[in-house]
C-alpha cells in the first residue's frame, strides 16, 4: 500500500519553531518512513527532472535581480542548501538572501519523516516571490516526501528478494 503525504503541524520540538514570527510562511508535510533525517534530506534534494526544469526557469527569471541560485558555499550542503544544524532527529538547512530568509527542516519522529519550510520575507519582493513559487513549492515538497517513502519501499522489496534468493539457494 502506497504511503500518503499529508499536511501537518510542525512538531513542537522542531528547531524551526524558534524562528517563527509574524508575517512568516511555514508549511509542514509528513509521510510514514523510518529514514533518518540526512538520508531523507538527500532524497528530497535529489530533484526529479521536472523540478530541475522549474529550478532552471527560476534561475533565469531571478538572475537579473541578483538572487542566489546555488546557495552560499559551505562545508556541508544538502543539495544547494547549507546545513545549519543537524541533530539525531532533525536536519535544518537553508540561507538568508536579499529578498527572504528560508530554512527547510527534515525531521524523523515516530516512524514519520516531516518536511517543513520556513520563509521570512524581507520586503514586498520577498512576499511576491513567495506567492509566485508557492504552488510549485507545494508540488515539489509533496513529491519529495513521496520519493522518501518510495526509497524505503524499493529497499524493502530488494531486501526481501535477496532473502528469498538466498533461502532458495540453500534449500
Lowest-confidence pick of 24-38, 46-60, 123-137: 46-60
140: Cβ–Cβ under 8 A, 6 or more apart, which residues?
A: 47, 51, 54
In terms of Cα–Cα distance, which of 120, 115, 147 is closest to 10? 115
Say if 169 falls within a structural domain. Answer: no
What pLDDT, in 10s, does the model give residues 21-30? 999 999 999 9
Relative to beta strand 81-86, strand 77-78 is: antiparallel
Lowest-confidence pick of 14-18, 48-52, 113-117: 48-52
Domain encompassing residue 28: 6-163
pLDDT for 22 equals 94
Grid coordinates representing 96 are 538568508
CATH number at 69 reads 3.30.530
**Domains in the chain, number:** 1
Say if 93 falls within a structural domain. Answer: yes
Average the pLDDT over 42-58 and give the result. 82
In terms of Cα–Cα distance, which of 147, 129, 160, 139 is closest to 61? 129
In terms of Cα–Cα distance, which of 112, 104, 120, 129 is closest to 47? 104
pLDDT for 56 equals 79
In terms of Cα–Cα distance, which of 58, 77, 65, 74 is closest to 140? 58
Question: What is the percent of the chain with per-residue pLDDT over 90, rounded to a whole number?
Answer: 64
What pLDDT, in 10s, does the model give residues 92-112? 999 998 889 999 999 999 999
Say if 170 falls within a structural domain. Answer: no
Amino acid at each position: 500500500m502506497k504511503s500518503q503525504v499529508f499536511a501537518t503541524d510542525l512538531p513542537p520540538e522542531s528547531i524551526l519553531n524558534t524562528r517563527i514570527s509574524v508575517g512568516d510562511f511555514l508549511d509542514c508535510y509528513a509521510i510514514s518512513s523510518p529514514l533518518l533525517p540526512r538520508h531523507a534530506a538527500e532524497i528530497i534534494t535529489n530533484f526529479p527532472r521536472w523540478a530541475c526544469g522549474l529550478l532552471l526557469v527560476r534561475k533565469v527569471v531571478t538572475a537579473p535581480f541578483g538572487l542566489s541560485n546555488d546557495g552560499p558555499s559551505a562545508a556541508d550542503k544538502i543539495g544547494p542548501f547549507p546545513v545549519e544544524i543537524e541533530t539525531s532527529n532533525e536536519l535544518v538547512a537553508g540561507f538568508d538572501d536579499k529578498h527572504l530568509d528560508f530554512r527547510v527542516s527534515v525531521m524523523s519522529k515516530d516512524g514519520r519523516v516531516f518536511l517543513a519550510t520556513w520563509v521570512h520575507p524581507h520586503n514586498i519582493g520577498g512576499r511576491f516571490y513567495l506567492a509566485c513559487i508557492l504552488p510549485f513549492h507545494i508540488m515539489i515538497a509533496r513529491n519529495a516526501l513521496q520519493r522518501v517513502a518510495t526509497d524505503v519501499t524499493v529497499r524493502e522489496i530488494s531486501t526481501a528478494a535477496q532473502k528469498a534468493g538466498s533461502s532458495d539457494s540453500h534449500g
